[in-house]
Structure 1
Amino acid sequence: MNNKEIFKNIIKRKIKAKIVFQNKKITAFHDISPKSKLHILIVPNIFIKNLNYINKKNLNILSYMLYKSIKIAKQERIHKSGYRIIINCNKNGGQKIPYLHLHLLGGEKLKNF
């Protein structure tokens, strides 16, 4: 199974993951290698390789992903203490899986970079 298939199979629930939210547009689940106390990945249910593949047809998915990340931060009770949202793009940008995804990090004081 290649890397992008991992997210596709989580979305289809063929791979077990701790899903915190799912609807027709996105799926949000806990990262299996968390970088903070709370680390949730938010992925579109349609395949988009990375930010470079955002276009007029799929532009709305980014705002929806951000909107839902705020709702999830409130659900997880990290909205008052603070959180970080990250989108990596390509290898040098830190993207390990070639499938657009947003990282929601929080639950503790995060290091500055």
Structure 2
Amino acid sequence: MDNNCLFCRIVAGEIPATVVHETDTTLAFRDIDPKAPVHVLVIPKEHHADVVTLAQNDPAGSADLLAACAVVAETEGLLMEGFRLLFNTGAYAGQEVFHVHAHVLGGEPLGPMLAPR
């Protein structure tokens, strides 16, 4: 655990969150500033700064994280119409909390990811 990490503190129960799914290795909770009708963050309970670090250091944890994302998408009713699964990695990508997390977004048409250049 990184005591300075917001998500580690959520895992430890120090900061409240609206949990929608939990396993031994993952935690899924609603985003406090949702960008879609459904916006759930899915994190590994163990601290890894980003998805690349997780994949390199804990391949099984990567699989657990993706499996948890699939469960969240299903339980949130997103499978029929579709959903977006997003990992921001690094400051240029907009990563704000440096504890790997997947955004599960859906519930309405989300439009294009990036504006044309």
Relative to the length of structure 2, the TM-score reads 0.87
Q: Does 1:110 align with 2:74?
A: no
Residues 5-38 of structure 1: CA distance to partner in whole angstroms, max 9, x if unpaired?
2111111121111001112201000000111110
Q: Shift of residue 66 of structure 1? A: 1.2
How many residue pairs get aligned? The number is 112
- Name the amino acid aligned to 1:67: A
| Residue of structure 1 equivalent to 2:76 | 76
- Name the amino acid aligned to 1:46: E
| Residue of structure 1 equivalent to 2:19 | 19
| Residue of structure 1 equivalent to 2:97 | 97
Q: Which moved more, 1:47-56 or 1:96-105?
A: 47-56
Q: Is the 8 A contact 1:4 1:98 kept in 2?
A: no
Q: Which moved more, 1:24-33 or 1:53-62?
A: 53-62
Counterpart CA distance in 2 for 1:93 and 1:80 is: 28
Q: Which runs of 5+ in 1 are unaligned?
A: none
Q: Which moved more, 1:31-40 or 1:65-74?
A: 65-74
Q: Which runs of 5+ in 2 are unaligned?
A: none
Q: Is the 8 A contact 1:49 1:98 kept in 2?
A: yes
Residue identity over aligned pairs, in percent, reads 27
Q: Does 1:31 align with 2:31?
A: yes
Secondary structure in structure 2 of the residue aligned to 1:54: helix
Q: Is the 8 A contact 1:4 1:99 kept in 2?
A: no
- Name the amino acid aligned to 1:54: L
Q: CA RMSD in A?
A: 1.9
Q: Is the 8 A contact 1:42 1:65 kept in 2?
A: yes
Secondary structure in structure 2 of the residue aligned to 1:112: coil
